[in-house]
Amino acid sequence: MLGGQILHGGDYNPDQWLDCPEVLEEDVRLMKEANVNCVSLGIFAWAALEPEEGRYEFDWLEKIIDRLGEEGIQVVLATPSGAMPHWLTQKYPETMQVQADGKRNLPGKRHNFCYTSPVMREKIYQIDSALSERFGRKENVILWHLSNELGGNFADSSCHCELCQEAFRNWLKEKYGTLDNLNRAYWSTFWSHTYTDWSQLHSPAPHGETTMTALTLDWKRFVTYQMSDFVRTETAAVRTHSDLPVTTNFMYFFKGLDYGKMRDDLDIISWDNYPFWHKTKDEVPVAVRAAANHNIMRSLKKQPFLLMESTPSAVSWREFNPIKRPGMHMLSSMQAIAHGSDSVQYFQWRKGRGAYEKFHGAVVDHKNGSNTRTFRQVTELGERLRNISGLVDGTVNRPKAAMIFDWENWWALEDASGPRLDISYIDCILDHYQAFWEAGIDTDFLNMDDSLEGYAVVAAPLNYMYKPGYAEKVRRFVEGGGIYVTTYFSGIVDDTDLCFTGHHPLADVLGLEQEEIDAPSGDFPNAFRYGEKEYPAGSLRELIHASEETKVHSVYEEDYVKGEPVVTEHRYGKGAAWYIAAEPDMEFLRSFYGDRLKEAGVQNALGTDLPYGVTVAERMGSDGRSLVFVMNFRNEAVTVRGTGKWADAESEKTYDGSLMLGAFECLVLRK
């Protein structure tokens, strides 16, 4: 566990207050009061660290690090590439991004840098290695925080300048070798877009190409590749005088970069979590969304991760920004720990006085010092985290269930023209995941590149793209006894978005062939029966043909597809492959996955059904036994029955047969 304890603290920007020494001194005092043990320094501080080209001013930073050290507060040290100083953009305008429309940005906002620009890379390398030299071996510095929310640039996360175009072309050459290969992969005969010279290749643009889906896909891959390359430049720089681990903070369902490709360049995964609590009275969809993101982060390295940012009260950038109701800050933070975080960090320690984020929630507000609801809630959480630090182990549990969640599938699926334009991969993923969450079953989220070994159940909804080798992997998984669930509009294209012809790549495993997919209007409902109930067939409905050995569990009840299969099961090897041909609703998914989990013998830690709003998650405890986090996301007390005997891990309390949870309460239990 990094720093030997669960980290509690957050982004700290003393560079905004250098002319107010009394504020800085108050900060340290308040941090102690709030049970803060770790802060992130230097994010967006380039202008303060290098006020003019080549002149580094690090003394102020050292003074603060030392002062924090005296008080036992650890430091996550950032590299400053998240925002560019004016001297840099003025002297080297080529370091600024060019947008898809071909226009070079002016200075401003953040993440405005071209990740290809040699000048940008040189300047960041120089300051990063200077930071490494000065601070890389400081006792209370524990982690490098590379840049900040990479790709979060108020635009499409990418730079379209000529340097990037050239790098893209080289990346394509490397990938395809010949234009013939590329043309075939791009199906470029369509609309006569055959490339006859590498120099004709250009990033997708509103005034240029947007209809060659494989090009769009490759451009997104290149952006991840090039950003990773930039990250490696920063890593090399901080490694010049330091062997501290590196991380960079990821974002919430961020489509701009394939985090699956970036994980290997990082020692620790960290991310920023801003759920929209209190959007409606029903907090479950928000809790599920946050849980899914936590699991994605944990699954990237199958290690604990760091919650690098969260708000202690409200954010400021949504249409409306509710303040967390009492209990929600504790619950939301404990949810992170439950799903594998080793920290609860905030953006931000103290609200700045000016500019864009001055109303974003912070531990310390503009007024009232420690005398605020928010400060007290933070303090209380800090105490609980300190107590819990000794209970959790530095590894994670390995769940028996997994979902396929793959960025490249996301990109390709949602760029497709047809059968609907409003298909949301994330919404579909979350619907399926919610069935697991409600059942209290922990679930990994896997790239198609990941191994399926060790899982009992794997769900792959809307698995439109099949990467090379993926079908074989699934085949082995089912053969070996796994239960595999997939849906309509899966297995459609290969990794350059070319449609499969002949047969579905898993036709033998699924025991079926797809014929056509209907995207009807709401005026044309359909339904199917599963078990005792009838469920609606949603807005996408495939017509499939099951093989003879395939068991058809449900058929369409209406319309021209009446009697055709919807839910099928095909035994293959020791396992079974299930197919859901029509878009299902939440109620069906609950029932369906309930059955699959029962078949697979996968149970939640409490061994009982959970009331709506309650879930459980397990973490390896430091004593080798599981710690069970029981969380109530309803704003009222609930009772969980049939739970057996449990001991409260944080108190002397014991429970027998049932658990009573208060509104937004989280219990941590041990057998």
| Residue with Cβ nearer its own copies (90 or 658) | 90
| Residue with Cβ nearer its own copies (500 or 655) | 500
Q: Is 368 known to sit in a ligand binding site?
A: no
Residue with token string 């509690």:
8
Neighbours of 652 (CB within 10 A): 6
Q: Which of residues 101-120 bind its own copies (CB under 8 A)?
A: 101-110
Q: Is 428 known to sit in a ligand binding site?
A: no
Under the binding rule (CB under 8 A), the answer on residue 187 touching its own copies is: yes
Among 7, 31, 36, 48, binds its own copies (CB under 8 A): 48
Distance of CA 530 to the CA centre of its chain: 33
Closest CB 594 distance from its own copies, rounded Å: 29
Among 52, 62, 139, 534, binds its own copies (CB under 8 A): 52
Beta bridge partners of residue 571, listed in sequence order = 576
Under the binding rule (CB under 8 A), the answer on residue 86 touching its own copies is: yes
C-alpha gyration radius of the chain: 26
Residue with token string 């490098």:
144
Under the binding rule (CB under 8 A), the answer on residue 82 touching its own copies is: yes
| Interacting residues of 634 by C-beta distance below 8 A, sequence separation 6+ | 283, 612, 613, 614, 663, 664
Closest CB 186 distance from its own copies, rounded Å: 6
Under the binding rule (CB under 8 A), the answer on residue 200 touching its own copies is: yes
Q: Is 409 known to sit in a ligand binding site?
A: no
* SS3 readout for 70-90: HCCCEEEEECCCCCCCHHHHH
CB 665 within 8 A of CB 327: yes
Name the DSSP class of 441.
-
Beta bridge partners of residue 654, listed in sequence order = 647
Under the binding rule (CB under 8 A), the answer on residue 15 touching its own copies is: yes
Q: Is 112 known to sit in a ligand binding site?
A: no
Beta pairing class for 533-537 and 526-530: antiparallel
| Angle in degrees, CA 631, 632, 638, rounded to 5 | 130
Closest CB 261 distance from its own copies, rounded Å: 23
491 phi and psi, to 5 degrees?
Answer: 70, 35
The first and second tokens of residue 115, run together, are: 């990740």
Closest CB 3 distance from its own copies, rounded Å: 27
Beta pairing class for 551-555 and 246-247: unpaired
Under the binding rule (CB under 8 A), the answer on residue 563 touching its own copies is: no
Q: Is 646 known to sit in a ligand binding site?
A: no
The first and second tokens of residue 374, run together, are: 């928010």
Under the binding rule (CB under 8 A), the answer on residue 625 touching its own copies is: no
Segment contacting its own copies by CB under 8 A, of 68-76, 242-250, 333-341, 500-508: 500-508
d(CA 425, CA 429): 6
Q: Which of residues 520-539 bind its own copies (CB under 8 A)?
A: 520-521, 523-524, 539
500 phi and psi, to 5 degrees?
Answer: -70, 140
Under the binding rule (CB under 8 A), the answer on residue 22 touching its own copies is: no
Among 319, 532, 549, 652, binds its own copies (CB under 8 A): 319
| Residue with Cβ nearer its own copies (337 or 510) | 510
d(CA 667, CA 70): 34
**Catalytic residue (choose from 234, 283, 309, 569):** 309
Closest CB 203 distance from its own copies, rounded Å: 9
Written as one letter, the residue type at 381 is: L
Q: Is 590 known to sit in a ligand binding site?
A: no
Q: Has 149 been annotated as catalytic?
A: yes
Under the binding rule (CB under 8 A), the answer on residue 55 touching its own copies is: no
Among 357, 414, 508, 595, binds its own copies (CB under 8 A): 357
Residue with token string 């579905």:
504
Name the DSSP class of 634.
S
Beta pairing class for 638-648 and 654-661: antiparallel
Name the DSSP class of 27.
H
Q: How many residues does the chain have?
A: 671
Beta pairing class for 270-272 and 249-250: parallel
Instruction: Spell out, one character per residue from 422 to 461, where the chain touches its own copies: x when CB under 8 A holds, - when not.
Output: x---------------------------------------
Closest CB 416 distance from its own copies, rounded Å: 7
| Residue with Cβ nearer its own copies (386 or 467) | 467
Q: Is 110 known to sit in a ligand binding site?
A: yes
Among 5, 35, 99, 591, binds its own copies (CB under 8 A): 99
Among 480, 531, 533, 560, binds its own copies (CB under 8 A): 560
Segment contacting its own copies by CB under 8 A, of 62-70, 330-338, 490-498, 641-649: 490-498
The first and second tokens of residue 613, run together, are: 């709003």
**Catalytic residue (choose from 149, 234, 557, 564):** 149
d(CA 308, CA 329): 15
| Residue with Cβ nearer its own copies (351 or 570) | 351
d(CA 650, CA 646): 12
CB 401 within 8 A of CB 597: yes
Instruction: Spell out, one character per residue from 253 to 292, where the chain touches its own copies: x when CB under 8 A holds, - when not.
Output: -------------------------xxxx-----------
Q: Dihedral, CA atoms, 579, 584, 588, 589, nearest 10 degrees? A: 70
Q: Which of residues 115-174 bind its own copies (CB under 8 A)?
A: 154
Segment contacting its own copies by CB under 8 A, of 467-475, 508-516, 580-588, 601-609: 508-516
Under the binding rule (CB under 8 A), the answer on residue 543 touching its own copies is: yes
* SS3 readout for 450-461: CCCCCCCEEEEC
Closest CB 191 distance from its own copies, rounded Å: 4
Under the binding rule (CB under 8 A), the answer on residue 513 touching its own copies is: yes
Q: Which of residues 385-414 bind its own copies (CB under 8 A)?
A: none
Under the binding rule (CB under 8 A), the answer on residue 594 touching its own copies is: no
d(CA 589, CA 535): 10
Under the binding rule (CB under 8 A), the answer on residue 355 touching its own copies is: yes
Residues at the annotated binding site for substrate? 110, 148, 317
Q: Which sequence positions are flagged as catalytic?
A: 149, 309
Q: What residues form the annotated binding site?
A: 110, 114, 148, 159, 161, 164, 317
